[in-house]
Amino acid sequence: MSLSSFFVGWRYYWISFSRCKMADEATRKVVSEISLLKTNSGPRDKELWVQRLREEYLALIKYVENNKAADNDWFRLESNKEGTRWFGKCWYIHDLLKYEFDMEFDIPVTYPTTAPEVAIPELDGKTAKMYRGGKICLTDHFKPLWARNVPKFGLAHLMALGLGPWLAVEIPDLITKGLIQHKEQQNNS
């Protein structure tokens, strides 16, 4: 190995490390702006669940406002009356094209101890990082983080640290492999 190739290789890894560090700092900044929740209650505890839902909505609203201010708006979310079933849209911009997906999840009975499992049904079976029914795989990276932060983490954290990074990794890969196409390209085919 020549000295010049060593330095070129070293520079590549340094740049990669620097970018990872910057991304990590950016993620920390975004997450630090999301309110931590206080109420340790799930849907079985009717009285405290209302308080927890209020905290969830306030954190989600603040997170969406922060995303819009940073020109990083990427999802819409709403729930049923009880706050136990959530659904909406998420999207990812790739090569200036917007790829939009329906998403859904139920609040587990043991919430907040157990994190919800977000599903994107139309992507079911298209990636190995997904379970049956289109539930995205968050087991390795997100669930341990969630477990360490019960009851402080909520749905805004699920979006910021779970679904957002999953979309950022998986959607470009699925596009490159030709497993998903932009709606306009589908209509032209």
20 as an active site residue: the answer is: no
Q: How far apart are CA 11 and CA 15, in angstroms?
A: 6
Tell me the backbone φ, ψ of residue 139, rounded to 5 degrees: -60, -50
Pairing mode, if any, of strands 130-131 and 97-106? unpaired
Q: How far apart are CA 64 and CA 139, in angstroms?
A: 25
Could you say which of 58, 64, 137, 179 is catalytic? 137
Tokens of 159: 């979006």
Provide CB contacts within 8 A for 6, sequence distance 6+.
none
Residues with active-site annotation? 137
